[in-house]
Amino acid sequence: MAAAMESVGTRELAGKRAVVTGGSRGIGAAIVRRLLDAGAEVLTTARSKTGTVPEGAAFVEADVRTRAGAEAIAGAAGEALGGVDILVHNAGGARPFPSALAIPDEEWQDQLDLNYLASVRLDSLLVPGMRERRSGAVVHISSAAVPTSAPPFLHYTAAKAALENYSRGLALEVAPFGVRVNAVSPGRTATPGGEATRERWASINEGPGQDDTAPPLGREGRPEDIADAVLFLVSDRASWLTGRNLTVDGGEFPVG
């Protein structure tokens, strides 16, 4: 039994070609490493190479918030990989604001572009190829905080809520063509980006501080916790899963 358990996931993605956005640090880099370890060829992206791209992954500098950025990623994927079997939308983030009414229009638009429309645009370029080949897996990274609609990040959770709705609809559309679409919603995860966001919120928050109580499972998430969920969803082990949202948060947030 032990040997059988050890073999699960070993090179299970051999021959697969994957694109991961925002893969130079944090959760994205952990996802890239997991896919590489499982045998996939991986192209990852970031607006700039500020982190450390995992060894073995191809890289393209592109801004996913724009149509031009999406086209650059799709073009690089065609050149480096020859096609895409796995697409993971990880790029995202937000600046906190003390009040929903204080969020300027340009910030709302930036959040929609980064956390919602970036996925829509890139999907429109890469999913048709999956549909033609009648095979593929897409994962949209959302947030476990979506049901709470927390005021400091209302623009972020609103964009992610739209992403989740779109993800379910796309899943229904492409399922007859053998393409699976799912979402992963991380909770509080120990990453440089997450820590910077919490520090920014602490510096502007004039009310009660954020709840520092650990999730019910007793710790913050690790990037690898999220990467493991993504690896499962893009693998054949999840071949009968589509249109779902897997919350990975140590039990911290309500579901639904």
pTM of the entire structure?
0.90
More confident residue, 5 or 214: 214
Quote the pLDDT of residue 87.
99
Residue 239's domain comprises 15-206+216-247
Report, as an integer, the average pLDDT of 77-98.
95
Q: Is residue 1 part of a domain?
A: no
More confident residue, 64 or 150: 64
The total number of structural domains that make up the chain:
1
Q: Is residue 124 part of a domain?
A: yes
Report, as an integer, the average pLDDT of 70-98.
96
Quote the pLDDT of residue 215.
86
Catalytic (active site) residue 116: no
CB burial of residue 239 (10 Å; 0-12, 13-18, 19+): exposed
Query: Which range among 92-96, 212-216, 239-243, 246-250 shows the weakest confidence by mean pLDDT?
Result: 212-216
1 band by pLDDT with thresholds 50, 70 and 90: very low
211 band by pLDDT with thresholds 50, 70 and 90: low
* CATH number of the domain that residue 61 is part of: 3.40.50.720
Q: Is residue 10 part of a domain?
A: no
- pLDDT over threshold 70, residue 171: yes
- What percentage of the chain reaches a pLDDT higher than 70? 88
Quote the pLDDT of residue 7.
42
More confident residue, 2 or 56: 56
Report, as an integer, the average pLDDT of 207-236.
85
Q: Is residue 252 part of a domain?
A: no
Quote the pLDDT of residue 8.
47
Q: Is residue 105 part of a domain?
A: yes
Q: Is residue 9 part of a domain?
A: no
Report, as an integer, the average pLDDT of 32-42.
98
Q: Is residue 6 part of a domain?
A: no
Q: What is the dihedral of CA 108, 111, 116, 117, to 10 degrees?
A: 80
Active-site residue, selected from the candidate residues 97, 116, 153, 156: 156
Quote the pLDDT of residue 205.
66
Quote the pLDDT of residue 254.
72
Q: What is the dihedral of CA 100, 101, 102, 105, to 10 degrees?
A: 90
Q: Is residue 116 part of a domain?
A: yes
- pLDDT over threshold 60, residue 9: no
- pLDDT over threshold 50, residue 5: no
Quote the pLDDT of residue 255.
65
199 band by pLDDT with thresholds 50, 70 and 90: low
**Parallel, antiparallel or unpaired: strands 136-141 and 179-186:** parallel
